[in-house]
Amino acid sequence: MAYLSQFIYPSAEREEQFLHGIRETCYTSVYPFQILSEHGVRVLNFDEDIVVLYGGNGSGKTTALNVIAEAMHLKRDALYNKSSFFEDYVGMCDQVLMRELPSHSRIITSDDVFDFMLNIRGINAGIDARRDDLFQEYYQNKESGFQLRSIEDYEQLREVNAARRLTKSKYVKGRLNANVREHSNGETAFLYFTENIRENGLYLLDEPENSLSPQRQMELAEHIARYARFFGCQFVIATHSPFLLAMKNAKIYNLDEEKMRVSKWTELGNVRAYYEFFRAHEGEFTI
């Protein structure tokens, strides 16, 4: 059941008009400007109950998803860094709704799932305070207007760049290392999706395959397909998981192309890589 029919991002020309007025001021980033327009992303049509945004790191699929979520005031659990110009960008967007959006509609990100796993599974004794410090450190670095002035600033530059490049979960998890309890993470992550996806709603999922085994990814794909077909849900998913990309009747926007286009899942580079790998090792499998 479609709730969102169309989402319209600002054109490259409109972006340029806005950015022209701030050229005199030094900014380290004008994110999210000039991310999606580089891939020709202008209008997304949601004429299927499952629409997938596919692309590698830096392709803009997560940005596209977060802009939709912000513009539509969707619920989220984990905080999201909007950057200095995020609200300006969102204000230039527009959307077409087919019907009133249910209040429980939401975006689910890897940060949401990671926070849930920490809360449910806990972390080793003495790590709670460190985790909170890392959360604060992440947001400070993410929002920093830091500029390199001398070689002594190099370590800080690395942390700032890491915060800008990584999601909160990857930033924090990488610094907690083995202190985070890993057992049963897949079951806990899958539980988060099943508890938060309800009947009749719009759900934006950002790389839901994170923390899920291939088997769990296939189960999640079945869960999504079932709720789209029988329970009145609409999904917009940013992913590069072949198990989610293979969902029947899913419309796939390929952001890895120089100009975004709709593609079949079997045409996608990530899927082709899996195909070529297993074909090369076909003789090693026994039936």
- pLDDT band (50, 70, 90) for residue 184: low
CATH of the domain at 16: 3.40.50
Count CB atoms within 10 A of the CB of residue 273: 11
Same domain, 223 and 82: yes
> CA–CA separation, 9 vs 15, rounded Å?
10
- pLDDT band (50, 70, 90) for residue 153: low
Q: Is residue 116 part of a domain?
A: no
Q: Is residue 271 part of a domain?
A: yes
Q: Is residue 190 part of a domain?
A: no
Q: Is residue 101 part of a domain?
A: yes
Q: Is residue 206 part of a domain?
A: yes
Number of independent structural domains in the chain: 2
Lowest mean pLDDT among 43-57, 172-186, 259-273: 172-186
Same domain, 247 and 212: yes
Same domain, 29 and 83: yes
What's the whole-model pTM score? 0.78
> CA–CA separation, 186 vs 134, rounded Å?
23
Same domain, 104 and 75: yes
Q: Is residue 89 part of a domain?
A: yes
Q: What is the mean pLDDT of the chain?
A: 85
Same domain, 161 and 21: no
Same domain, 29 and 89: yes
Amino acid at 32: P
Same domain, 207 and 165: no
Q: Is residue 137 part of a domain?
A: yes
Residue 103 burial by Cβ neighbours in a 10 Å radius (0-12, 13-18, 19+): exposed
Domain span at residue 132 reads: 123-179
Q: Is the pLDDT of residue 16 over 50?
A: yes
Same domain, 97 and 141: no
Q: Is residue 184 part of a domain?
A: no
DSSP assignment of 117-152: HHHHH-B-TT-HHHHHHHHHHHHHHHT------SGG
Residue 178 is predicted with a pLDDT of 46
Residues of the chain with pLDDT > 70, as a percent, come to 84
- pLDDT band (50, 70, 90) for residue 172: confident
Same domain, 62 and 169: no
The mean per-residue pLDDT over the stretch 99-112 comes to 93
Question: When comparing pLDDT for 216 and 172, which is higher?
Answer: 216
Residue 146 is predicted with a pLDDT of 60
